Structure 1
Amino acid sequence: MELIRLKVEGFKKVHEIELDLADVNILVGANGSGKSSVLQSTHLGCCLIRQADRVDPMRTNTVSIEELDYLPTDDYKTLGHNSNWGNGTGSPSSNLSITFRKDDATEVTASCRIRSARNAGISVSGTVPVDASNLLRQKKKFFSAYIPGISGVPNKEERRSKKVIMKACSFGDSNVILRNALLLLKEENDQNISQIEEWLSRVIDPVSITVTHDDAQDLHIRCWISYQGLDRPIELAGTGFLQLIQIFCYVLLFNPGILLIDEPDIHLHPNVQEKLAGVLAEIARARKMKVLMTTHSPFIVRGAPVDAKVYWLQEGAKKSEDRSAVELAIGWGAFGKRAILISEDADVSFLRKIVSQWPEIERNVAFFPGNGFKNLPTPEQAKELHDSLGSKFKIIVHRDRDALTDDEVNQITGKYRDLGVDVWFPKGSDVESYFCFPQFVEWFLNCTLAEAQGHVASVLAQSAIPIRQQFDKQRASHNEEIHKQGGSPTNNDVWAAFQARELRGAKGKFVLGQLKNQIGQQVFAPDKILASKLNGQVAVDLKHMIEQVLAI
């Protein structure tokens, strides 16, 4: 029989999620989206089905906390979705359904309802068809194996019994007992260590693992890793090595029906992440095993085979299973967001600083830096991006106002808005201009408005020539872009109109640098501004625009 579907209900973040399974299955999404909840509920349910004396739809059976081979938390009553587990019929509970396809193409489903027992333990009820019992109800055979990640190993390990090893590993605590797990595998079959080494060689360079223990002479297990001509004890191996060894060790130790891996990318180089996804797919097919893993990494998704299932979770539910949209969203850093703000600036520090004034907006916006206005997406490209992401994100394009007239700004804005894309032009020449306005200087320096106006006026007067030269250069670019057929206003006319503005045609980036020199970099400098706590009143025009776009 083949495992083809999982359904989780009422567990932690998850209200209800059903997953059709391929050999490799990947859950992506922001922190708190329910990814780990799916893995933990699956492993807990599989352990309870196996460990309960019976699984009956009409009668409950209790598995004591001491007996359990896995429990995400000692405060297990809190594992319910939006309410604590109860201990009576009809009280809050969680449910796991596991569906298999038989050789004749018919399907059978095992289910497990989980809630608190009246005493210290977990109450289990449900159904396990006879056809599925051989897979799910073997006392000494785990159907699931769960790997929550690894954070290093202790310097020493005394030898433990197989029961202790299996229980610790089932709890996800293999880092404290990894030498024991490797020794157990070696003693059960000499080829097990060679198999782990072979899998490792497909992901990284060849690695040799030596693990020994003499019951008559050794107090602790001895384990070395040989890599690129160097021998070192396992405790000195990099965390990435340990992560890979742990994953492959679990495959052989449990020989599970489903391998659950939580964020395997954390300690691995992007190239290794891509290779790992491919190797796991090969292992899954060869061993008739399913792999279900969570990730924030585009490299894990990219390295997965074309038939892998990729699910995007949000707020405990499936948001999409469109792999191309998922890959784009990961690349744009947009999980958990509602809008992507594409900037023409390569350094978006000041833009981020502005948005950080408003936490509700900040939580909903992803930033994407650019390389000048000429490299911003065109209206058509921005629309294509919006559509390729499944219309799940608002696209906002940030373009500097520079030396554009109001009519030119409106012309550019209209082209984007005609295709459903919003564009934001700063009130001044650029984002940095907000930090050069006299009102901000007054607030930041705690000086009078007259003093702040004096600082700005002094910079504009002393740098009048380079400011005008930069302005004329920008006008040349604008004319080439907008007025190829002619009809542009003269530079002098545009310059004259800009003299009524706060910075009188000067670039904020330039003025900010001059203010730093004039006032003193120990007092007024970009790093000082970025480290400060703004008052929520900087660039409120951007705030109002995003609120309107997101209907906040």
Structure 2
Amino acid sequence: MVDKKIDREKENLIEKDVENSDEGLGLEVNSARFQISAIRIKNFKKIFDTRIELGSITYLVGGNNSGKSSVLQAIHTAVSCAQVSQEFKQKVIAEASLRYSPIADFALLGHNSRYTNSKAGSRGNVEFEGSPSNSTESVTYSIEMYKGKNHNNVGVERSGHFNGFGQIICDPKKLFSVYVPGLSGVPHREEMSGYAAVFRKAASGDANLVFRNIIRLLDERNKLGELERLVSEVLKSDIHFQVDFNSERDLYVEVKLAAGENPVADDFRPVDLWGTGLLQITQIFAYVLLFKPALLLVDEPDSHIHPSRQKNLGLALERVSKEFHCKVIISTHSRHLVTSASESVKVVWMKDGRIVPESERELVAILMDLGALDQLDPTAKIIIYTEDKDTTILEKALDSLPSWKDSVKIVSYNGLNNSTIAAAFKSMADLMPLSPHVIVHRDRDFMTSEELERWSAPFSERGIVVFCPKLCDTESYCVIDSHVAAVTNKSLSDVKLIKDKVISDNVKDLRKSFVEKRRYANGKYNRDGGSPRTDDLWPPADEHPSDYLLFGKLVKPMLEKELGRVGYLNKNVFLNSQPSEELAKELEQELNKLNIMQEEIR
């Protein structure tokens, strides 16, 4: 009981200190006195040495493992180290006392090597650059992190040359930075917590655990109306919050929300019934309103937010940055955030822990739209881009080629016009460390050789190879007699009998799909005539078409169903369970041509 009483008294003192400082040295005033213009990070996780210039909003974009999250974590870790060091007036602090660390063993945060104690050894560093509002003088404040001599200790060296800049960053009673690491689970129930407990959870990146208490504290400070305004701007609908907690009778805090102009009691829904996007948006703005950070660090806020609302979120964050003097750094895959940004917003393209110099915003947006940016592998020597959403068949064909599979990466993209795709893929390859060769895979879709040549022209002009297998699509390779026989372990005559029946039963639908695709090709490539007649390619009376005339995406599920019915296929076995030898041969031939081209260039 005594310990709890002491903890509560400490919480009251901390809350009182913060409330008093809001009037004098609040972050609105502090951030106005100093404008952070850039942050340099050295030796932290994916990052060797990177300097990022900041806008009011800074978007970090890039593929997986590009270093986006490392930037956010480095900033918040350094601030945590500096504030705890200042709080205890010590250069060496216990790892357990840190408010935030992304991993349990602090020494493992080094880039490719553990942190050490030696000054000449491996140490992490985060340097803040800025300027006073009344001066053009550039100021810096550096936080160096290293391994303490004793077990589980962290060393912190702080340095700067302008009075007051470091005080703002290191003030332990403030959250100089707030880190929102994506939407974590919000508990079903939440006991009432004092400000100090909420403060500590927010500092550790676990504010989701005290989500309801944050909204309760905003309500007590008469700031709930501001939260409603900000969330309403994103959702384009009137939003109303309701906080229910009586300290004399309640153990748990209840928070509800309703949409609409004049909601009644039955319209309000508890947190458990909110959508993840709504929770994410509310979290972000609630943190800004309660803690007034100088830096808001948000990791992929678009993950749970519908594209139609992502643009609104970006615009609302720009207003928040201006109103609250708060710089926002966001890692994102959303082209909607990037393309809706104003000129004051910085877009930083990261790759392998480094900044891609002067990347064009338009190119970044295109790559995001294609869905290819997040799949980049910097170790790939050859990249095959395919419009197929399901790359299983192509992947299995590649995996059956041991001499190629480790150096080739298959990436699925959403699809734009040829010239846009070609320009984006070429620029992307040029920016990657190994400048990989690029192959674009597309289904033939019954195109003639002349039509395919015209389709491929924008790619060929940029040195991009087009791989277009002979059959209609990759699924067609799974219904070749020899492949079906290999998967089912039946004779060719047996599987041919089943396949002929499936085609005969569905020949009208198969011919219809053929005619539709030929109509599209004729309209796109042969408007002035000159194309072969569709009836010449597949005479209407022909009920036994060759494999070249079959639309595999239709035939494959039909054939699998019939093979299962007669007992030739088990329930969980499909015709793409094994690699197609024919498709693998065609892919290998294309890759071998590329290898010859490479030798000729040498």
TM-aligned CA deviation for residue 330 of structure 1: 0.9
What does the per-residue CA deviation read over 1:128-172, in whole Å, with 9 as the maximum and x for residues that have no partner? 223312321323122111111333433433333332221111111
- Mean alpha-carbon deviation: is it higher for 155-164 or for 456-465? 456-465
Aligned to 1:210: 242
Given that 1:9 and 1:15 are in contact with CA atoms closer than 8 Å, whether structure 2 keeps it comes out as: yes
Please state if 1:121 is matched with 2:131. no
- Mean alpha-carbon deviation: is it higher for 141-150 or for 164-173? 141-150
Given that 1:240 and 1:267 are in contact with CA atoms closer than 8 Å, whether structure 2 keeps it comes out as: yes
What does the per-residue CA deviation read over 1:202-239, in whole Å, with 9 as the maximum and x for residues that have no partner? 11222222335444444333433333421233344333
Which of 111, 129, 140 is matched with 2:142 structurally?
111
TM-aligned CA deviation for residue 523 of structure 1: 5.7
TM-aligned CA deviation for residue 494 of structure 1: 7.9
Aligned to 1:367: 412
1:364 match: secondary structure: strand
1:247 match: secondary structure: helix
Which of 557, 572, 578 is matched with 1:534 structurally?
578
Aligned to 2:91: 61
Aligned to 1:258: 295
2:268 match: secondary structure: strand
What does the per-residue CA deviation read over 1:453-480, in whole Å, with 9 as the maximum and x for residues that have no partner? 5656777899999989998998888788
Given that 1:436 and 1:508 are in contact with CA atoms closer than 8 Å, whether structure 2 keeps it comes out as: no
Please state if 1:71 is matched with 2:101. yes
Given that 1:432 and 1:512 are in contact with CA atoms closer than 8 Å, whether structure 2 keeps it comes out as: yes
2:168 match: secondary structure: helix
TM-aligned CA deviation for residue 39 of structure 1: 0.5
CA distance in 2, matches of 1:472, 1:532: 26
Which of 209, 232, 235 is matched with 1:201 structurally?
232
Aligned to 1:373: none
Aligned to 1:241: 278
Change beyond 3 A, Cα 1:444–1:362: farther
TM-aligned CA deviation for residue 45 of structure 1: 0.6
Please state if 1:149 is matched with 2:182. yes
Please state if 1:427 is matched with 2:470. yes
Which of 262, 281, 297 is matched with 2:318 structurally?
281
TM-aligned CA deviation for residue 21 of structure 1: 0.1
CA distance in 1, matches of 2:336, 2:184: 21
Which of 41, 59, 63 is matched with 1:26 structurally?
59
Which of 486, 497, 501 is matched with 1:443 structurally?
486
The within-5 A match list for 1:342-381 is 342-343=386-387, 348=388, 351-358=391-398, 360=405, 364-368=409-413, 377-378=417-418, 380=419
- Mean alpha-carbon deviation: is it higher for 297-306 or for 114-123? 297-306
1:30 match: secondary structure: coil
Amino acid at match of 1:539: L
TM-aligned CA deviation for residue 195 of structure 1: 1.5
Aligned to 2:3: none
Amino acid at match of 2:253: I
TM-aligned CA deviation for residue 505 of structure 1: 4.5
2:549 match: secondary structure: coil
Given that 2:556 and 2:575 are in contact with CA atoms closer than 8 Å, whether structure 1 keeps it comes out as: no
Please state if 1:271 is matched with 2:308. yes
CA distance in 2, matches of 1:44, 1:242: 25
What does the per-residue CA deviation read over 1:387-426, in whole Å, with 9 as the maximum and x for residues that have no partner? 6758558361514163736x77667657752442322221
TM-aligned CA deviation for residue 332 of structure 1: 0.5
CA distance in 1, matches of 2:413, 2:182: 30
Which of 187, 211, 217 is matched with 1:178 structurally?
211
CA distance in 2, matches of 1:472, 1:154: 56
Given that 1:311 and 1:318 are in contact with CA atoms closer than 8 Å, whether structure 2 keeps it comes out as: yes
Amino acid at match of 1:312: W
Given that 2:564 and 2:570 are in contact with CA atoms closer than 8 Å, whether structure 1 keeps it comes out as: no
CA distance in 1, matches of 2:211, 2:510: 65
What does the per-residue CA deviation read over 1:435-465, in whole Å, with 9 as the maximum and x for residues that have no partner? 1222211211112345445656777899999
Given that 2:43 and 2:125 are in contact with CA atoms closer than 8 Å, whether structure 1 keeps it comes out as: yes
Aligned to 1:226: 258
2:298 match: secondary structure: strand
Amino acid at match of 1:354: L
Q: Which has the higher helix share?
A: 2
CA distance in 1, matches of 2:277, 2:519: 53
The within-5 A match list for 1:306-325 is 306-319=343-356, 321-325=359-363
Aligned to 1:337: 376
Consecutive unaligned residues of structure 2, counting only runs of 5 or more, are 1-33, 378-382, 400-404
TM-aligned CA deviation for residue 329 of structure 1: 0.8
Consecutive unaligned residues of structure 1, counting only runs of 5 or more, are 371-375
Change beyond 3 A, Cα 1:9–1:474: closer
TM-aligned CA deviation for residue 316 of structure 1: 1.9
TM-aligned CA deviation for residue 42 of structure 1: 0.2
1:266 match: secondary structure: helix
- Mean alpha-carbon deviation: is it higher for 3-12 or for 141-150? 141-150
CA distance in 2, matches of 1:180, 1:486: 71
Paired residues, what number?
Answer: 532
Given that 2:117 and 2:147 are in contact with CA atoms closer than 8 Å, whether structure 1 keeps it comes out as: yes
Given that 1:151 and 1:239 are in contact with CA atoms closer than 8 Å, whether structure 2 keeps it comes out as: no
Given that 2:212 and 2:255 are in contact with CA atoms closer than 8 Å, whether structure 1 keeps it comes out as: yes
RMSD over equivalenced CA pairs, Å:
4.1
CA distance in 1, matches of 2:181, 2:511: 60
Return the TM-score normalized by structure 2.
0.76
- Mean alpha-carbon deviation: is it higher for 233-242 or for 526-535? 526-535
CA distance in 1, matches of 2:510, 2:247: 81
What does the per-residue CA deviation read over 1:525-551, in whole Å, with 9 as the maximum and x for residues that have no partner? 999675853246351123553686698
Return the TM-score normalized by structure 1.
0.82
Given that 2:190 and 2:212 are in contact with CA atoms closer than 8 Å, whether structure 1 keeps it comes out as: yes
CA distance in 1, matches of 2:441, 2:158: 53
Change beyond 3 A, Cα 1:384–1:219: closer
